[in-house]
Amino acid sequence: MPWTDDNLMSLQSHVLAEERQYPGATGDFSWILSAISLATKTIGNKVRRARIEDVIGELGETNVQGETQQKLDVIANEIIKSCLGSRANIGALVSEEEETPTILRSHEDGGRYAVLFDPLDGSSNLDVSVGVGTIFSVVRLGDGVKGTPEHMILAPESRQVAAGYVLYGSSTVFVLTTGRGVDMFVLDHSIGSFVLVKRDLKIPKTRKVYSINEAYVDRFPDGYRRYLEWAHSDGYSSRYIGSMVADIHRTLLKGGVFIYPPTVDHAEGKLRYLYEAMPMSMLIEQAGGRSIAGAGTRLLDVKPTDLHQRIPVVMGSSDEVDHVERFLSES
């Protein structure tokens, strides 16, 4: 029977069906995404029970980013490492929470992929029950690339082949791209599986909504400030949650533009390229949107030089990103 919107399809079945379109497929994505699915279902359960189990609040330590770790940051990080650590095709796990990668196996021993992740984006919002999420990127390590794990991941021969996020909100939503469009799944707790609810998701081309923390407007470069002045005069609405996964999810579904500019005290930007900007950019572009790091700079064309590199971010509906870029170009 042909696939229709009425057919029930799990995440695993969807990935297997996609792989069958490639005669040489090895099942690597199926194994990796199955592990990510297991990890995020486990994290989602921890998020729902966070106050009951008293894992809300700060741990009292800082991560490599210099940020205060939340208790669930550490728990989520360990869950992902536990679920992905036994997958034979993963060479390294690279977490926003850790300074160096966790090396599992060499390229020669079958470690063809690295999984990069922000285990719990927006975790400081947990104590007020705001939606938080996990962001991930799957990078295929370049054949024949030698050197340290950092060098292998950052090498030009290595490339991002899949990206996604899981939003833990009123429902648990898994949004995924493997380079053939964007698909959305929702966790059905009654059967314990992510089920496909939207195939080939497309972001609206335009919508008069921007998402930015305007509390720091006095610290933004001139181009961003002039864009905001224009947006105010042109009838734009502001929507800002403060959890990147939640803000991007709304932008992806409803349209608009998400902006995280550089500031006086963070001249290079604040969002991490590999764990936040890069995977979200792949999703936005696969959904028909745009993502830039500045005027004339496509975000995915940026070549990272450091595992924890930060970068300015503008992404969302193509027309809305164009508007922002116009003002940045005039700066």
Indicate the number of domains in the chain.
2
Is the pLDDT at 87 greater than 90, yes or no?
no
Range(s) of the domain holding residue 313: 209-329
264 and 179 housed in the same domain: no
Kindly state whether residue 204 falls inside one of the protein's structural domains.
no
Residues 208-248 have pLDDT tens digits of 999 999 999 999 999 999 999 999 999 999 999 999 999 99
Going along 99-256, which residue ranges are E strands?
Answer: 102-103, 113-121, 132-140, 159-168, 172-177, 182-188, 193-198, 209-211, 237-238
Confidence of residue 60 (pLDDT cuts 50, 70, 90): low
Residues 211-220 have pLDDT tens digits of 999 999 999 9
CATH code where residue 18 lies: 3.30.540.10
185 and 248 housed in the same domain: no
Kindly state whether residue 156 falls inside one of the protein's structural domains.
yes
Write down the pLDDT at residue 149. Answer: 74
